Chains A and B, each alone.
Chain A
């Protein structure tokens, strides 16, 4: 196959660019352990609210200092609709849905995950102080645009878990 010189140069350039893409992605994923939320765990959606994992929704402070938030999505609310977490602290959100697929999105952050009935979703974020809108970003029916919550991120020293779920 006869390939023009300029075209060859271009193709080598493209190959170098793709090699950089591959390399940076591999470095982020494997080297720095940055992954999209890919938790694999199942749950019966019919009884999710009775399941010990989601019977109480809210924020937990572990004895080791770890902060977890458990959230249940249903048409067209998040349970809890409002929560308070500490700033600059990794907080692990665990979520599931009672009915259709929802999307938990902390607006203007990269904290988001699809919330799928039958599955437990999980992601960890660390956020600066602020008031955040939590939107549903997966179409879930006629009230989709009203499905929202609030996330208060307060300085660590002023923080108490709200709504608190005792461990």
Chain B
């Protein structure tokens, strides 16, 4: 009962944050198409980009992931480890998010969600976000403890893939957040309070991206968890290859963090040799994603054939496209394939200079975090909320249309963004006219198409929020479906025995070693430069 309330409390915050952030986004898309709207000012635009990024990237995702994790742990062990810690974490995270958001909405922290110094936000912006992160560590502890409980209960048998994935993600998050916590505690908080005069922007950017890239895997791993453990069953089939799934999640734990310099290719102060090393690590991390692509498609084929599909592609039509859960995940996965190719360009050592900080980048991550993660989370809500709350999913017709709208909106918004990015349109700008410069004229039609995409996306977001509100506030149903994981196609009798990939503690150690190799020397070199810090600026 208590567990159920904790899960739903996290989902509630997540849904509301999503709704507010989506409303901010539609205005931005219209602004970039140079449409004159009421209340449209540069000050408003940059404030709303900040709010959108923080709410979507840090609040919507973190709360949803915590809620899902608690549900997985509860399914595994019949209880949540340390529910009180869970509640304290919930309230601290909520207070932190509200604090940060308060300073954003009052125009005191228009520093965008990357908050690069020497742009300086209100101290409560940094303190609030730090509280959100620290509170999430309580969730990590609870997840890892739940995973250990499950292992010890039956040492001869692997824990469920969902529990394995969640524990791997919690460990990944612990390792990743060391970067942003250091940036906040040693640089930004004392500096914004006036206790220190200056900060080094390159050190701050390095610590941010130490955190910033594994952050995207913190979003993606719960989505993959749904793809592996929920989608095959909901589609009417079985998971093709569970042991490889374990390997995939463990590989993400190992490889997610020592890659941050591929976000800093254009930064001075970091030698090319270390950027190259991070590039190779980044390429390696596409391996588990490509394995996932095979497993998911193969599992869907199993489902399609079990439902009577024949021929090379006939099984695709037999998939339950009208099921909101399956539909969301299928469309999310389709968009992710395109996003993955774009990501390979971003990470390419010699190509990044063509796309860095152009419209290509937000277009790219709206396919990854904005579709693969967000659209999967929406589908996961349709699946999870009725199972946790015992309530019936309301407004089902809207839930069936919503994923299609997201898909169409994202194609319009994102594909055009990739093209304008290649045409040199910078990201994060209020207008795209540059005093009617000739090169800027060429972007006009495409930014218009992109804005139409923004409107369609907003409609989709609105449908999702409506479905969730009606469901969460609705009456308890009579049928009480439970959380059940997809069966594995090749499950031996008695279940899988724990193998090398199950030893997350060991692999966490390997991940730490890789991080030290990737960051110790460049940081050491940076500390030995004669560095001049920067005072804060608030030009917003």
B residues near A109, Cβ cutoff 8 Å: 424
With CB as the reference atom, state the residue of chain A lying closest to B265.
A36
**Interface residues as binary, B493-533 with A (CB distance below 8 Å gives 1, 0 otherwise):** 00000010100000000000000000000000100011111
Of the candidates B241, B270, B531, the one whose C-beta lies within 8 Å of that of A118 is B531
Q: Which residues of B contact A34 (CB under 8 A)?
A: 349-350
Contact of B291 among A14, A108, A148 (CB under 8 A): A14
**What CA separation (Å) do A136 and B244 show in the bound complex?**
45
A112 near B266: Cβ-Cβ < 8 Å: yes
**Interchain CA distance A93-B111 in the complex, whole Å:** 28
A111 touches B202 (CB 8 A): no
Q: Which of the candidate stretches B174-182, B225-233, B282-290, B405-413 sits at the interface with the other chain?
A: B282-290
Question: Within 8 Å of chain B (Cβ to Cβ): is A157?
Answer: no
Contact call B270/A141, Cβ cutoff below 8 A: no
User: For the complex, is A64 an interface residue (Cβ under 8 Å from B)?
Assistant: no
Residue of B nearest to A17 (CB): B290
- Docked Cα-Cα span, A18 to B348, in Å, equals 12
Q: How far is the CB of B410 from chain A (nearest CB, A)?
A: 23
A22 engages B283 (CB within 8 Å): yes
Closest partner residue, chain A, to B438 (CB atom): A131
Contact partner of A35 (CB less than 8 A), chosen from B349, B430, B439, is B349
**Contact call B46/A28, Cβ cutoff below 8 A:** no
Residues on B with C-beta less than 8 A from A37 are 266, 268, 353
A-side contacts of B438, CB under 8 Å: 131, 133
Interface residue tally for chain A (C-beta within 8 Å): 67
The 8 Å CB contact of A144, one of B46, B276, B286, B352, is B46
Can you list, as one digit per residue, whether each of A67-96 has a CB less than 8 Å from chain B (1) or not (0)?
000000001000000000000000000000
Residue pair A118, B266 in contact (C-beta under 8 Å): no
B279 touches A25 (CB 8 A): yes
For residue B39, CB closer than 8 A to chain A, the reply is no
Determine how close the nearest CB of chain B comes to the CB of A76; give it in whole angstroms: 8
Asked whether A43 is an interface residue with its Cβ less than 8 Å from the other chain, the reply is yes
A76, closest chain B residue (CB): B539
Closest to B428 in A: A139
Q: Which of A36, A108, A117, A140 contacts B266 (CB 8 A)?
A: A36
Q: With A29-B349, A36-B349, A133-B424 given, is the CB distance from A118 to B539 under 8 Å? A: no
B429 — nearest CB in chain A belongs to which residue?
A145
Chain A residue contacts of B205, Cβ below 8 A: 101, 116
Residues of B contacting A139 with CB < 8 Å? 46, 112, 116, 119, 428
Asked if B540 lies at the interface with its beta carbon under 8 angstroms from chain A, I say: yes
Whether A14 touches B268, Cβ cut-off 8 Å, given contacts A108-B439, A141-B539, A144-B430, is: no
Size class of the contact patch on chain B: 35 or more
Q: Which of A2-10, A54-62, A159-167 contacts B (4 or more CB under 8 A)?
A: A2-10
Report which of A4, A35, A38, A137 forms a contact with B426, defined as CB distance below 8 A: A137
Residue A154 lies at the interface, judged by CB distance under 8 Å to chain B? no
A45-B532, A133-B437 given; A108·B424 CB < 8 A:
yes
Minimum Cβ distance to chain A for residue B143 (Å): 25
B422: nearest chain-A partner, CB-CB: A108
For residue A63, CB closer than 8 A to chain B, the reply is: no
Say yes or no: is A107 at the interface (Cβ < 8 Å to chain B): yes
Q: Does B105 contact A (CB under 8 A)?
A: no
Inter-chain contact B46/A142, CB cutoff 8 Å: yes
Determine whether the beta carbon of A137 is less than 8 Å from that of B243.
no
Contact B241 A3, beta carbon cutoff 8 Å: yes
In the complex the two chains form, is A112's CB within 8 Å of B353's CB? Answer: yes
Name the CB-closest residue of B to A15: B287
Contact assessment for A40 and B539 in the assembled complex, using a CB-CB cutoff below 8 Å: no
Q: Which residue of B lies closest to A36 (CB)?
A: B265
**CB-CB < 8 A to B298: which residues of A?**
6-7
Among the stretches B57-65, B354-362, B366-374, B456-464, the one at the interface with A is B354-362
Contact B42 A119 (CB under 8 A): no
> When the two chains form their complex, are residues B429 and A144 in contact, meaning their CB atoms are under 8 A apart?
yes
Pick the contact of A14: B112, B271, B287, B499 (CB < 8 A). B287
Q: Please determine whether A116 and B112 come into contact, CB atoms closer than 8 angstroms.
A: no
Contacts known (A35-B272, A100-B539, A110-B353); A18 close to B426, Cβ less than 8 A: no
A118, B201: Cβ atoms closer than 8 Å: yes
Check B269–A119 contact: CB distance below 8 A.
Answer: yes
Contact of A107 among B283, B290, B424, B540 (CB under 8 A): B424
Within 8 A of B (CB), among A104-128: 105, 107-114, 116-122
Query: Within the complex, which residue of B110, B243, B270, B529 is in contact with A2, where a contact is CB–CB below 8 Å?
Result: B243
A153 close to chain B: CB less than 8 A: no
Closest chain B CB from A6 CB (angstroms): 8
Shortest Cβ gap from A128 to chain B (Å):
14
Chain A residues engaging chain B, CB cutoff 8 angstroms: 1-4, 6-7, 10-11, 14-15, 17-18, 21-22, 25, 28-29, 34-46, 75, 99-101, 103, 105, 107-114, 116-122, 131-133, 135-146, 148
A28-B350, A75-B537, A137-B356 are known; give 8 further A-B pairs, CB within 8 A. A3-B244, A10-B294, A34-B350, A35-B272, A101-B205, A117-B201, A137-B427, A142-B43
Can you show 8 pairs from A to B with CB atoms below 8 A apart?
A7-B295, A25-B279, A28-B349, A35-B349, A45-B534, A118-B531, A144-B46, A144-B430
